[in-house]
A = this chain, B = another copy of it.
């Protein structure tokens, strides 16, 4: 059967990047449709009527929603590169850290750069706490997944890529090389991976876009 795989995303969204990284690691051919957040397509609204958000992966006409759910779907649907480990305990550990990054790290990173002024300082402190927890979790491993990029690494694109972009765009300092040496090494290794490199949007363009977007008071969108 000729497979049809379509990804609805937004260039620069780390949640979209996650899906692109996973599809590329698996070697899945897909069509990418870029959404305009100010004018969402009828197809996106049809496929994700509950949240009306990207990313949406449409596989043979059927939509899969929510980036963590999509990553598991990709891993279960296509053979080849393993995104999750095989062992149930290691899978649970990876899922725990993926959730930690979504629930604790990304909101703090986002708020510290683009939140309301009064909440930014507290958010910067939160970022340093949660990144230290991740630093300790890395231990002596190259990637969170061990020798190779796995679920947690893919999810952590919000740290491996977005964090640096947000820091520069919002002119906030979040990453201290002396306090977080392992995490900084991980970022270097993460950004050197060719599958990841080709899934990321152009950095300078994104920084310019973000500066303009948040300057024009679109923060609530």
Q: Which residues of A come within 8 Å of B, CB atoms?
A: 50, 59, 62, 64-66, 68-70, 72-73, 76-77, 88-89, 91-92, 95-96, 99-100, 133
Contacts and interface: CB of A to CB of B under 8 A. Distances in A.
A29 to B, nearest CB: 18
User: What's the dominant secondary structure at chain A's contact region?
Assistant: helix
B95 A66 contact: yes
A74 to B, nearest CB: 9
A209 B69 CA distance: 36
Given A66-B96, A66-B99, A99-B66, A72 B50 contact: no
Tally of this chain's copies: 2
Nearest to A99: B66
A-B pairs, 6 with minimum CB distance: A76-B88, A73-B92, A69-B95, A64-B92, A77-B88, A69-B92
